[in-house]
Homo-oligomer: A and B are copies of this chain.
Amino acid sequence: MSLIRGRFKNDINKEVSRYTASIPYDWRLYTYDIEGSLAHTKMLAKQKIIGSKDAREITHGLKAIKKEIEQNKFVFKEELEDIHMNIESRLIEIMGKAGSKLHTARSRNDQIALDLRMFVKNAIQGTITDIQTLQKALFYVADLHQNVAMPGYTHLQRAQPILLAHHFLAYFEMLQRDKERLLDCFKRTDAMPLGSGALAGVSYNIDREFVAKELGFKSITKNSIDAVSDRDFIIEYESAASICMMHISRLAEELVLWSSSEFGFIELDESFTTGSSIMPQKKNPDVAELGRGKTGRVYGNLLAMLTTMKGLPLAYNRDLQEDKEGLFDTVDNLNSTLKVFTGMINSLKVKSDVMINSLNEGYLLATDIADYLVKKGETFRKAHAAMGKLVRWAIENKKSFSEISIDEYMKYSSLFEDDVYLITAQSALEARNNIGDTSPEQVKKALKAAKIKLSKTNFV
C-alpha cells in the first residue's frame, strides 16, 4: 500500500491508479527531482533538521538511484503515482530509516514546482541554442547569395525587387525576438519554490536561499500559496514556442512554394525530401510541410494549458498534473523542428537564375517609376494614378516597361524623359538605402550586425 494512505481503509481502485498515475511521462523529470532532493538534503543537514549521517546516507542512496535509472535498472511502478514517490519509495527500500526522513519539510506540491522550473530553464537553454543554430543557417545562405535579387511579394503578387539575403534576414529578425522572449521567460522561471510546502510554508527552520544557490536559481519565490499553484512559466514558454512555430510555419510555406515547379526558386537537398509510394517521379518537401503542420500541436498545447488553469481556486489542484505532457510535447517538437530546418536551410540550392528572371515580369518597377515622377515634381498620388493607367495599357498591349517607347510614356505624364530607362531592378535595389532597406549596402550592414549577434554565446 501507498506510503501516504495511512488515513484510508481501502486501497485505490486499479483503474483509478492507472488514470491518475503520472509516472509514464514524469519519469523524465528524474534528474531534476534527484538534484532537488540532494540540495534539500544538504540544507536539512546544514540546518540540523536531520543528522549529517542521515544526510550522507540519503545522498548516497539518491545517487545510486540516479545510476539505476540511467542504466535502465530502475523499475517504475504505476501504483506509486509519480516520479517523487517512486524515488522516495526506492530510497526507503534501500536506506530504511534515513530514507524516511527525506520528505521532511517538503511537500510534493513544492517539489513538482521545483522540478518543472528546472526542466523549463533547461528547455529554454536548449531552444535558444537551436534557434541560434537555425539563425546561423539563415545567415549562411543569405551571406552566400548576397547579390542575388528576386521579386519581393505582397499578397503573393510580385511587388518590388529585393535581395534574397534581405528576405532570409527577415526570418533572422523573427528568431531574434523569439530568443528574447524566451530569455524573458527564463527570468521569471528562475525563482526557487522549494520550502513552500503544501501551500503555507513549512514549520521547520529551513534555508531557502541556500537551496536556491545550490541549484543555480537567481531568486526564491515570494508567496507560498502562489508558488505551488503557479504555472505561468509553462504557459509563457508555450506561448513563446507558439510564436516561434508560427515563424517557422511561414518559412515552411515559402520553402514549399519556392520548391514547386511553378516558382522553382530553390531545390531542397534530396536528403531532406521524400518519395511517393505510388508516383515514382515525386520529390516532396515533407520536412517543410511537417514543420508547418506541427504548428497546430504547439498552439494546441498552449490552449490546453490555458484552459486547464482557467477558474481553478487556490492552491494546488490535481488539474495541474496536466501541465507536463503538453510541455514535453512542445519542447520536443519545437526543438526537433528547429534542428531539421537548420539542416534543410544549410543544404538547399538557390536557383538564382530563376529568381532573377522573375524580376522581368510583373511590372515590379512601377513604384520606382512613380517615385521618378515625384522627383520630377509630380505629387505622389498623381504619379501613382498615372502609373496605374500606364500599367493597364502595358498589360493590354503586352509590353514590359523597357519595351514602352518614350512617346507612349509621355501620354501618361509629360514629365517622362529618356532617363526613365535607367530605372532597373538594380537601380531600384540601390535606391532603397535607408536603415533596414533592401539595398546591397544596407544588407551588407545587416549581415555584419547579424554576425555579431551570432557570436554571442552566453545568452543566458
A167 to B250 Cα, complex, angstroms: 26
A151 to B434 Cα, complex, angstroms: 43
Please, which residues of chain B bring their CB within 8 A of the CB of A362?
A: 261, 281
Please, which residues of chain B bring their CB within 8 A of the CB of A243?
A: 232, 235-236, 239, 306
Is A319 interfacial (CB 8 A cutoff)? yes
Please, which residues of chain B bring their CB within 8 A of the CB of A109?
A: 154, 278
Please, which residues of chain B bring their CB within 8 A of the CB of A270?
A: 8-10, 12
The answer to whether B223 and A279 have CB atoms under 8 Å apart is no
Is A156 interfacial (CB 8 A cutoff)? yes
Q: Besides the contacts A5-B274, A153-B315, A162-B199, what 8 more A-B pairs have beta carbons closer than 8 Å?
A: A4-B275, A6-B388, A6-B389, A100-B381, A104-B380, A108-B276, A236-B239, A250-B314
Is A460 interfacial (CB 8 A cutoff)? no
The answer to whether B308 and A295 have CB atoms under 8 Å apart is yes
Q: Return 19 A-B CB contacts under 8 Å, by A number.
A: A3-B381, A8-B388, A88-B381, A156-B317, A198-B279, A201-B436, A203-B431, A221-B436, A232-B243, A239-B239, A242-B306, A246-B306, A250-B314, A254-B313, A260-B262, A274-B318, A278-B370, A281-B364, A292-B310
The answer to whether A197 and B257 have CB atoms under 8 Å apart is no
A160 to B287 Cα, complex, angstroms: 22
Supposing A246-B309, A343-B15 touch, asked if A5 and B275 sit within 8 A by C-beta, the answer is yes
Within 8 A of B (CB), among A177-217: 177, 180-181, 184, 187-188, 195-206, 208-209
Q: How many copies does the complex hold?
A: 4
Supposing A3-B385, A109-B154, A223-B170 touch, asked if A297 and B314 sit within 8 A by C-beta, the answer is no
Within 8 A of B (CB), among A70-86: 81, 84-85
Closest B residue to A380 by CB, please name it.
B104
Contact with B along A275-301 (1 / 0, CB 8 A): 111111111111101101111110111
Please, which residues of chain B bring their CB within 8 A of the CB of A283?
A: 7-8, 157
Please, which residues of chain B bring their CB within 8 A of the CB of A456?
A: none
A84 to B277 Cα, complex, angstroms: 10
Count of residues in A whose CB is under 8 Å from the partner chain: 198
Supposing A13-B343, A317-B289 touch, asked if A280 and B366 sit within 8 A by C-beta, the answer is yes
Closest B residue to A374 by CB, please name it.
B104
Please, which residues of chain B bring their CB within 8 A of the CB of A446?
A: 222-223
A85 to B381 Cα, complex, angstroms: 11
Supposing A155-B316, A198-B278, A308-B293 touch, asked if A20 and B287 sit within 8 A by C-beta, the answer is yes
Please, which residues of chain B bring their CB within 8 A of the CB of A171?
A: 226
Q: How far is the CB of A164 from chain B (nearest CB, A)?
A: 11
Instruction: Please tell me which stretch of A34-42, A118-126, A321-329 contacts chain B, meaning at least 4 of its Cβ atoms lie within 8 angstroms of it.
Output: A321-329
Contact with B along A1-39 (1 / 0, CB 8 A): 011111111111101101110000000000000000000
Please, which residues of chain B bring their CB within 8 A of the CB of A318?
A: 155, 274, 284, 286, 289-290, 293
User: Which of B229, B336, B438 is the one whose CB lies under 8 Å from A19?
Assistant: B336
The answer to whether B284 and A199 have CB atoms under 8 Å apart is no
Q: How far is the CB of A320 from chain B (nearest CB, A)?
A: 7
Please, which residues of chain B bring their CB within 8 A of the CB of A289?
A: 155, 317-319
Please, which residues of chain B bring their CB within 8 A of the CB of A59?
A: none
Is A53 interfacial (CB 8 A cutoff)? no
Residue in A97, A154, A242, A309 whose Cβ sees the most chain B Cβ within 10 Å? A154
The answer to whether A160 and B7 have CB atoms under 8 Å apart is no
